[in-house]
């Protein structure tokens, strides 16, 4: 397999001339990710689905490595960049139905949510304020405030890279789990569009997250108008530095960097014992799941000695000053700085509580 470093840019231009992609050599990938780190690469921007399909097909046929990138909100890219072609997914059409929304993969996710709420459609409001693209949401089964994409997804339009076939795929074929699917960590398919089934009454999804329900003066399981829930979610997320803002370095992140760990039932007592040994007999935030006991990653991180803002002022990469689950770029961090911090947090939690935290972002050219 070749890399773009061994393919002259003129040859790449000829290869992709008929695809409709716009080529940019030496594009700093830090400019295309919410963590704002990542070295240079050749970027092929595809503003239509046809251009996306043609570009990926041409590069695959030529044996040139491809990195798919849209909103860049769940990526940690090496300071060396990417040695192939970064295909920027920028097709952003959104079509509203009477009880649904269909969005092309490059549509800005929060704009999709806002459009559904404005149209009087309920269901996606708890996923307000999440950065990234619509096409990324089924890949990692995006979720927040008690709602996951898998609960509302009607179908996904996918390009099979091995055959070139384009088909609509149903949710039951995507192997959804906690922040994962068969699409994650796989290059076999490209998401082209997503379609969600929504509530035409304008009511929210049942409220399952205690903090959100309490903020709305509701009981868990009740619903509220979708526009009211969206406004409340945006306020709660902003208070945690989880709504993108150029001037707020707490938002220069990939969101929650670690998933909440699920410990098998047979190991849960040992974890509780380790917690008791280090922090005393306390009530530990945890939830029963079919796979085991899910613990709060943020709680474990803080009790392991990594408080908000760790390791302190002056560090290029720090935990958010608003909550401990986000690793942030304070303005001049490199990917290496973020990896160093992530490894320190992971090893500290494992040493104290015998729990291995798993990173949520996809890493490119680097290992946490």
Bridge partners (DSSP) of residue 94 are: 103
| Residue 162, number of CB atoms within 10 A of its CB | 9
Residue with tokens 């099979």: 160
Q: How far apart are the first and last CA of the chain?
A: 25
**Measured between alpha carbons, how far is 95 from 83 in angstroms, rounded to an integer?**
36
Residue found under tokens 């998933």:
259
Strands (DSSP E) found in 47-99: 66-69, 75-77, 85-89, 94-96
Q: Is 256 a catalytic residue?
A: yes
28, burial (CB in 10 Å: exposed 0-12, middle 13-18, buried 19+): middle
Centroid of chain to Cα 50: 25
Catalytic residue among 88, 157, 179, 230: 179
Mean pLDDT by 10 residues, the chain (368 residues): 65 96 96 97 97 98 96 96 96 98 98 98 98 96 96 98 98 94 92 98 96 97 98 96 92 95 95 92 86 95 97 97 96 98 98 96 94
Q: Of 104, 125, 148, 360, which is the active-site residue?
A: 360
pTM of the entire predicted model: 0.92
* pLDDT score for 185: 80
Q: Tell me, what's the pLDDT at 1? A: 44
45 assigned to active site: no
Q: Is there a catalytic annotation at residue 24?
A: no
pLDDT confidence of residue 281: 72
Distance, in Å, from the CA atom of 302 to the CA atom of 325, rounded to the nearest integer, reads: 9
Which residue out of 73, 253, 256, 286 is catalytically annotated?
A: 256
């Amino acid at each position: 397999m070749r890399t773009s470093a061994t393919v002259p840019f003129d040859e790449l231009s000829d290869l992709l001339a008929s695809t409709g992609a716009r080529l940019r050599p030496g594009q700093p990938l830090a400019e295309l990710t919410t963590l704002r780190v990542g070295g240079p690469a050749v970027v092929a921007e595809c503003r239509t689905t046809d251009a996306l399909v043609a570009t990926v097909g041409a590069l695959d046929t030529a044996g040139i490595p491809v990195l798919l990138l849209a909103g860049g909100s769940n990526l940690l890219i090496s300071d060396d960049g990417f040695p192939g072609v970064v295909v920027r997914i920028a097709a952003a059409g959104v079509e509203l139905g009477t009880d649904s929304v269909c969005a092309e993969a490059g549509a800005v996710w929060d704009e999709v949510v806002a459009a559904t709420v404005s149209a009087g459609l309920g269901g996606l409001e708890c996923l307000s304020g999440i950065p990234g693209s619509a096409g990324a949401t089924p890949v990692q089964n995006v979720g927040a405030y008690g709602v996951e994409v898998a609960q509302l997804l009607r179908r996904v339009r996918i390009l099979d890279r091995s055959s070139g076939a384009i088909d609509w795929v149903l949710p039951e074929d995507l192997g959804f789990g906690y922040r994962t699917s068969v699409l994650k960590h796989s290059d076999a398919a490209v998401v082209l569009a997503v379609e969600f089934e929504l509530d035409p009454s304008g009511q929210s999804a049942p409220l399952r997250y205690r903090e959100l329900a309490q903020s709305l003066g509701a009981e868990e399981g009740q619903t509220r108008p979708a526009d009211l829930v969206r406004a409340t979610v945006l306020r709660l997320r902003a208070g945690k530095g989880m709504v993108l803002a150029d001037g707020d370095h707490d938002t220069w992140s990939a969101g929650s960097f670690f998933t909440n760990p699920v410990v098998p039932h047979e190991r849960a007592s040992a974890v509780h014992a380790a917690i008791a040994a280090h922090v005393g007999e306390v009530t530990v935030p945890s939830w029963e799941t079919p796979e085991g006991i899910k613990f709060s990653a943020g709680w474990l991180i803080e009790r392991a000695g990594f408080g908000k803002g760790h390791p302190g002022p002056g560090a290029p990469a720090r935990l958010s000053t608003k909550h401990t689950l986000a690793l942030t770029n304070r303005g001049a961090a490199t990917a290496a700085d973020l990896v160093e911090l992530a490894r320190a947090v992971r090893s500290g939690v494992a040493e104290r509580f015998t729990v291995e935290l798993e990173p949520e972002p996809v890493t490119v050219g680097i290992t946490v």
